Amino acid sequence: MTTPFVSTVLGSPRIGPNRELKRATESYWAGRVDAAALQQSARDLRRRGLAAQREQGLDSIPVNTFSFYDQILDTAVLLGALPERVASIADPLDRYFAAARGTDTITPLEMTKWFDTNYHYLVPEISPSTTFALDASKVLTELAEATEAGINARPVVIGPVTFLLLSKAVGTDTPLLSRLSELLPLYADLLGQLKAAGAEWVQLDEPALVGDRTAAEIEQARAAYAELSALTDRPAILLASYFGSLGEALPALASTDVEGIAIDLVAGDDCIGSVPDLSGKFVVAGVVDGRNIWRTDLDAALATLGALLGSVDTLAVSTSCSLLHVPYTLDAETDVDKALRSWLAFGTEKVKEVVTLATALTQGRESVEDEFALARAAASTRRDDRRLNDATVRGRLDAVLNSALGRAPAAERRKLQAEVHDLPALPTTTIGSYPQTSQIRVARAALRTGEIDQSEYLRRMRAEIADVVALQEKLDIDVLVHGEPERNDMVQYFAEQLEGFFATTNGWVQSYGTRCVRPPILYGDVSRPNPMTVDWITYAQSLTDKPVKGMLTGPVTILAWSFVRDDQPLADSANQVALAIRDETVDLQTAGIRIIQVDEPALRELLPLRAADQPTYLDWSVGSFRLATSGVADSTAIHTHLCYSEFGAVIGAIAGLDADVTSIEAARSHMEVLGDLSTVGFDLGVGPGVYDIHSPRVPGVDEIADSLREALKAVPVERLWVNPDCGLKTRGQVEVEASLRNLVEAAKLVRAEL
């Protein structure tokens, strides 16, 4: 078999190099531009994206990687699986956005994390009455656009197994894979249409097969691909996996007649040599990391490719996954020092690496020796850079780790803490942030553009803090917060102040829909040159006699929302961040702050996909939290906040954190959570969110009081706290005040019944 192509990527970012799609879409939502204008912006972006990839030399370019919101939602449209409740919206684009975002009367699809990334997809709902029907217009349009431009395009479609495994079964307990037999004819039809439209290859993405799958599921996947690959009227099939190893699913899938398999050789360790069936396959080797931002070690990647060539006939070089998860290009970063820049590769730079490796394979390494030399030089300066090996940080960390990190038993601490602050039963508090008012955003923008100076900015933020403290006093909340007005983002705020992090100016990555984030880059050893929060918190404390809670982000969450080092175990990076946070807790305590909250909303997020990898993760993540929080006196209360409602695998870890008080997002099922916690012997303070902050609805006093009475059946009164579900940053001021007023009243009501 001759090689069909030699260089590709599994997918591309789509929000636009300058977030053009975000702007266009939000303008459409706001009614400032019409659908035709939005479609035109989308077409322009696609055209530019294709042209750039061709210019860089990829010889197979993925299409149908564009999306107005999300690729799983697109797949639901492709398969006719939008929920019944949006069917009455006639306009397809508005129907699509209604499924994504809801309307006044329609609840949107649920959103959840895309495997272990920070991208979020919409969860299709499939009920017994869902009747699938093919609508291939989107993929055909994108294929036609590329073909017209003379591009060798490879349509990318989410495969049927992953689509069903990621969907939610509504109104039935039967696993959704039982619906495969209904989907396969649609995929057959789709493959025929793509073939007729000129596609030589189609990429079917099956990332859900990377993870713990039962033998029955693997068999169903095998049978599905056996059926699809037995079709004659179709393009060649590239079955794409990413985010880890296929493991046992690999030989099963390789036993079918699919022509190609894409394998993640960065996150995964599928041992190609031991899979004899792969010998007849075209392998798309993901040797360039599609998820992290480090420059590829070209020598190592070429060696991997060479080893692969020993056992497979033909291969192409690729990224390990779609480039959706990295920023567009390093060119947009003007502020990065020369050394750090030479260690990095964003989207465009990764495409270049792919092409370089493919050239080395086909024409010999000599032809691209310059690129190899540059990569080697960067690797060597990176290895030698003192910022990556700070003896002071490492020495301090060793010393702290060798000292006893335990705190006194929880009950003893509770007693000591009660002597510091005289709190009523069922103390009320909030999670940290208050509404991000337009004044806050204006001030931040004005500081950025130089319109106001640092001291004016400080003055305005202090005014915000004073307002938030006054509001909490008026509402008679027991433990106050400063409201976090100075934080653009709970991770970036700290990354900007810590050594070892680089905060990009333009490194936007899509998080969901039109929402983009700029993950900081953790490149070196971490230390904290100066206190990061003490001035703000002590200012808030100076305005009130009630206790003000210090607010920090925990090490696991800081890592989860950053690009992390790949030259040392994540656990080591976590401990370095933890040491910096620990320094901050000690400074807060010295400044008189005796309640400190260390948020870990991402504890669940970083959980590895495969169960076998989870215990190690839970061990180091809990360890880093304890390192961060055990530097203070037993009389200083450590709070934490967790932000998801699927506790499952991490419930034991929540107890392991040993925080004096844990507030948890649990609006819909908080009483169940309390039960789950008691099964793991949880004997610490807990604040199950008594109302959902994701909606503007104001909860009634009776409703909150009922929740509290219910909670008291599971938690003794001396351990129960009263708080909302999560931070209030995204809410409006009016509803926040009304909701908190009811929360305090409900707490007082139930207190009186004790």
Q: Which residues bind ligand GLN (CB under 6 A)?
A: 431-433, 484, 490, 551, 599, 601, 641, 643, 726-727, 729
The dihedral of CA 426, 697, 480, 553: what is its sign?
positive
Among 166, 726, 744, 746, binds Zn ion (CB under 5 A): 726
73 binding partner (options Zn ion, ligand GLN, none; Cβ < 5 to 8 Å by kind): none
CB of 725 to Zn ion, least distance (A): 7
CB of 427 to Zn ion, least distance (A): 19
Q: Which two tokens stand for residue 56?
A: 């860089």
- Closer of 298 and 431 to Zn ion (Cβ): 431
CB of 669 to Zn ion, least distance (A): 15
Contact track, Zn ion, 642-661, x by CB under 5 A: -x------------------
729 binding partner (options ligand GLN, Zn ion, none; Cβ < 5 to 8 Å by kind): ligand GLN
Q: What is the 3-state secondary structure (H, E, C) of 648-662?
A: HHHHHHHHHCCCCEE
- CA separation for the pair 737, 733 (Å, rounded): 6
CB of 597 to ligand GLN, least distance (A): 7
Q: Given the rule CB under 5 A, which of 376-384, 476-484, 644-652, 723-731 is the region that contacts Zn ion? A: 723-731
- Closer of 291 and 729 to ligand GLN (Cβ): 729
CB of 553 to ligand GLN, least distance (A): 8
Through-space distance between the first and last CA atoms of the chain, rounded to whole angstroms: 79
Q: Given the rule CB under 5 A, which of 111-119, 150-158, 233-241, 595-603 is the region that contacts Zn ion? A: 595-603
Task: Identify whether the C-beta of residue 752 lies closer than 8 Å to the C-beta of residue 457.
Answer: no
- Closer of 4 and 724 to ligand GLN (Cβ): 724
Hey, is 417 helix, strand or coil? helix
Hey, is 3 helix, strand or coil? coil
Which residue's Cβ has the minimum distance to ligand GLN? 727
Q: Which ranges of 476-554 does DSSP label H, i.e. alpha helix? A: 492-495, 534-542
Contact track, Zn ion, 485-524, x by CB under 5 A: ----------------------------------------
38 binding partner (options Zn ion, ligand GLN, none; Cβ < 5 to 8 Å by kind): none
- CA separation for the pair 526, 498 (Å, rounded): 6
Number of residues that bind Zn ion (CB under 5 A): 3
CB of 556 to ligand GLN, least distance (A): 13
Helix 180-196 vs helix 137-148: crossing angle, to nearest 10: 20
Does the active-site annotation cover 421? no
423 binding partner (options Zn ion, ligand GLN, none; Cβ < 5 to 8 Å by kind): none
- Closer of 389 and 488 to ligand GLN (Cβ): 488
CB of 484 to ligand GLN, least distance (A): 6
- From the candidates 120, 421, 641, 694, which is the catalytic residue? 694
160 binding partner (options Zn ion, ligand GLN, none; Cβ < 5 to 8 Å by kind): none
The dihedral of CA 99, 102, 107, 110: what is its sign?
positive
433 binding partner (options Zn ion, ligand GLN, none; Cβ < 5 to 8 Å by kind): ligand GLN
CB of 494 to ligand GLN, least distance (A): 12
**Which is nearest to 660 in space by CA: 689, 632, 640, 633?**
640
Q: Given the rule CB under 5 A, which of 217-225, 297-305, 379-387, 724-732 is the region that contacts Zn ion? A: 724-732
CB of 593 to ligand GLN, least distance (A): 15
> ∠322-327-331 over CA atoms, to 5°?
130
Task: Identify whether the C-beta of residue 266 lies closer than 8 Å to the C-beta of residue 320.
Answer: yes
Q: Which residue has the tokens 């590239």?
A: 238
- Closer of 288 and 551 to ligand GLN (Cβ): 551
- CA separation for the pair 682, 229 (Å, rounded): 52
Neighbours of 586 (CB within 10 A): 16
- Closer of 211 and 432 to ligand GLN (Cβ): 432
Phi, psi of 501 (to 5 degrees): -110, 150
CB of 561 to ligand GLN, least distance (A): 10
Task: Identify whether the C-beta of residue 116 lies closer than 8 Å to the C-beta of residue 607.
Answer: yes
Task: Identify whether the C-beta of residue 731 lies closer than 8 Å to the C-beta of residue 695.
Answer: no
- Closer of 432 and 631 to ligand GLN (Cβ): 432
382 binding partner (options Zn ion, ligand GLN, none; Cβ < 5 to 8 Å by kind): none
Residues 296-315 that bind Zn ion (CB under 5 A): none
- Closer of 194 and 552 to ligand GLN (Cβ): 552
- CA separation for the pair 624, 620 (Å, rounded): 6
485 binding partner (options ligand GLN, Zn ion, none; Cβ < 5 to 8 Å by kind): none
Task: Identify whether the C-beta of residue 11 lies closer than 8 Å to the C-beta of residue 2.
Answer: no
CB of 730 to ligand GLN, least distance (A): 9
Task: Identify whether the C-beta of residue 18 lies closer than 8 Å to the C-beta of residue 43.
Answer: no
**Residues paired with 685 in a beta bridge:** 661
- Closer of 468 and 578 to ligand GLN (Cβ): 468
742 binding partner (options Zn ion, ligand GLN, none; Cβ < 5 to 8 Å by kind): none
- CA separation for the pair 647, 655 (Å, rounded): 12
- Closer of 167 and 597 to Zn ion (Cβ): 597
- Closer of 221 and 490 to ligand GLN (Cβ): 490
- CA separation for the pair 629, 410 (Å, rounded): 14
Q: Which helix (H) or strand (E) holds 301?
A: helix 298-309
Q: Given the rule CB under 5 A, which of 277-285, 625-633, 635-643, 675-683 is the region that contacts Zn ion? A: 635-643
**Which is nearest to 74 in space by CA: 93, 102, 50?**
93
- Burial (CB count <10 Å: 0-12, 13-18, 19+), residue 427: buried
- CA separation for the pair 93, 226 (Å, rounded): 35
- CA separation for the pair 63, 198 (Å, rounded): 13
CB of 666 to ligand GLN, least distance (A): 12
Residues 6+ away with beta carbon under 8 Å from 487: 433, 493
Task: Identify whether the C-beta of residue 690 lies closer than 8 Å to the C-beta of residue 715.
Answer: no
Task: Identify whether the C-beta of residue 504 lies closer than 8 Å to the C-beta of residue 520.
Answer: yes
432 binding partner (options ligand GLN, Zn ion, none; Cβ < 5 to 8 Å by kind): ligand GLN
Task: Identify whether the C-beta of residue 125 lies closer than 8 Å to the C-beta of residue 76.
Answer: no
CB of 665 to ligand GLN, least distance (A): 7
599 binding partner (options ligand GLN, Zn ion, none; Cβ < 5 to 8 Å by kind): ligand GLN
6 binding partner (options Zn ion, ligand GLN, none; Cβ < 5 to 8 Å by kind): none
Q: Which residue has the tokens 């794409």?
A: 240
Does residue 250 belong to the site contacting Zn ion (CB under 5 A)?
no
Q: Which two tokens stand for residue 625?
A: 């939290």
Total count of residues recorded for the chain: 754
**Which is nearest to 643 in space by CA: 475, 477, 495, 433?**
433
- Closer of 291 and 482 to Zn ion (Cβ): 482
Q: Given the rule CB under 5 A, which of 213-221, 287-295, 421-429, 594-602 is the region that contacts Zn ion? A: 594-602
Compute the half-sphere exposure of residue 211: CA atoms within 13 Å on the CB side of its CA: 16
490 binding partner (options Zn ion, ligand GLN, none; Cβ < 5 to 8 Å by kind): ligand GLN
- Closer of 289 and 660 to ligand GLN (Cβ): 660
Phi, psi of 638 (to 5 degrees): -100, 120
Q: For binding to Zn ion (CB under 5 A), which residues are involved?
A: 601, 643, 726
Annotated catalytic residues are: 694
